[in-house]
Structure 1
């Protein structure tokens, strides 16, 4: 493991030299981890060792404190935290953290103070990552689709370190689906299915995995045939067409009867009733017609003469 140390270059007096690992520290969830910190100095009665975890709240920033041969652990990790060497007065300030949790991930600071050693850098930072298998992913996607359409499925795990990769499969399929109709992204967990046919119907399984485990979820797609969809669309169009024709026929009939019942200009309904009820009117109508005929005949005769 690579380490980083600060060397005393001052001639003005004693100094503190701290050595910490430069590589990121990683450990699996539930196991134990050692965060190494070594120092060089002439320990005096004023020697102080402090470990802090800035990720926590200000009131619990300090997780371990050693001074005057007394050890204090004010942080929430107290029951799981211990010194690898106690007392830490011989150059080893390493701590041990048991039953590692995801909340333990972050940056830890080891600081050594030993007055009158005022020179040098008496602190160092350690980056700690908690490794864990993927959590159970959540599968989402189009449950119902029609032939010829596209569908997109998604899969995502909320937790998992390193970041999990995703793989989709069609469960129970007797014949493999055409790869040209399947576009899969193992990093984002998406699966795009294009130009669907009924062969795409069924259950799809997504597996999220990393070096420490795997988890899966499933989603089902039902692809509906175009014939059934056409019948439904045709029925809807037929209903609207029948309603339109019925309305049009009703309007035509209504306008036609309105025109038949209309009264000619200059003739009132009262005069029409009076004319129909008077018998003399019917008698006078015929002579008038004959007179017109005779007048026309006479006119023609005059022209011949």
Structure 2
């Protein structure tokens, strides 16, 4: 191919490159650090010929979320800015409108929830080549917000007991230290402390280890504390208490059974005043009719006469019975 034939091709390529430029986004700091409550600038610059289709966008991926899953927190297009994210009231652009090569934003009143990745993206058709985005990591330093203490096990003489301390918040991760309150030294022999996990192991418990313990969670920005008390008891005392409780429960059970059976038997015993079929000696005989009275009198007289030889009082008794019967 001759030089004359290459000349038109070179002219076309030069014209096309003049129409389609490149977008270059620069993040001067890949990681920034700020303290909770302070303000911080997230830097981002770019180079391109801003046109009518120029778009600037910031995305935020909290914590360890991948930057690709970030959500939009700032958007600029056609002369209007939008701030759809939860940081809207605390987010500001350093250059408004951001069309002169500066896309930096600032965050005020930093919070632990601001930790994460921030992506700055510029789109300016027909400039499609180059680097159109950059990512930086924001770390917000904060003191521990609170500490919590608890015990794992029962404080019995001769056994081991672990006290555990934990904290919420705090960046960087706090370290833990224990103090035996009222002692001349922070810890006594037989106490083993783990400053990373926050545990305190008390071995071979004795009465001397009864008392209050304090845990302190701290980093370079501040600290938080919590207290816990233990009372070491002997195994014999614990067994005696358990035995006494069991004895009382058994006694109550036996009393309840006795009351139930007494009440049940009382309901089954018949009424002692019920006479049954016994014949009463003082019962009154039914009234006799005239014939029956005469017959009865004759029979009584005959009976009395026959019995006079053996009992002289029989006639009188018979007569009294007849008189009572007639009346």
Which TM-score applies when normalising by structure 1? 0.66
The equivalent residue for 2:92 is 82
Give the 3-state SS of the residue equivalent to 1:79 in structure 2. helix
Correspondence for 1:149 among 159, 169, 183: 159
Q: Counterparts of 1:63 and 1:222 in 2: how far apart (Å)?
A: 54
Correspondence for 1:214 among 218, 223, 231: 223
Q: Counterparts of 1:63 and 1:182 in 2: how far apart (Å)?
A: 51
**Contact 2:25 2:131 (C-alpha < 8 Å) held by counterparts:** yes
Cα distance, 1:61 vs structure 2: 2.4
Flag the 1:81–1:232 CA change in 2: closer, same or farther, 3 A: closer
1:45 aligns with 2:74: no
Cα distance, 1:113 vs structure 2: 1.2
Cα distance, 1:142 vs structure 2: 5.1
Unaligned runs of 5+ in 1: 1-9, 240-305
Q: Counterparts of 1:82 and 1:120 in 2: how far apart (Å)?
A: 27
**Contact 1:49 1:93 (C-alpha < 8 Å) held by counterparts:** yes
Q: Counterparts of 1:232 and 1:50 in 2: how far apart (Å)?
A: 70
1:20 aligns with 2:1: no
**Contact 2:192 2:201 (C-alpha < 8 Å) held by counterparts:** yes
Please tell me the root mean square deviation across aligned C-alpha atoms, in Å. Answer: 3.1
Give the 3-state SS of the residue equivalent to 1:135 in structure 2. strand
**Contact 1:144 1:221 (C-alpha < 8 Å) held by counterparts:** no
The equivalent residue for 1:36 is 43
The equivalent residue for 2:285 is none
| Residues matched between the structures, number | 227
Cα distance, 1:45 vs structure 2: 2.6
The within-5 A match list for 1:201-280 is 201-225=210-234, 228=237
Flag the 1:142–1:172 CA change in 2: closer, same or farther, 3 A: farther
Unaligned runs of 5+ in 2: 1-16, 249-327
Cα distance, 1:19 vs structure 2: 1.1
Flag the 1:37–1:222 CA change in 2: closer, same or farther, 3 A: same
The within-5 A match list for 1:104-253 is 104-141=114-151, 145-174=155-184, 177-179=187-189, 181-225=190-234, 228=237
Q: Counterparts of 1:27 and 1:11 in 2: how far apart (Å)?
A: 42
Give the 3-state SS of the residue equivalent to 1:44 in structure 2. coil
**Contact 1:21 1:126 (C-alpha < 8 Å) held by counterparts:** no
Give the 3-state SS of the residue equivalent to 1:93 in structure 2. coil
Flag the 1:177–1:14 CA change in 2: closer, same or farther, 3 A: closer
Deviations 1:35-83 (A, max 9, x none): 1111122222322111112449x9x922111122221212222111110
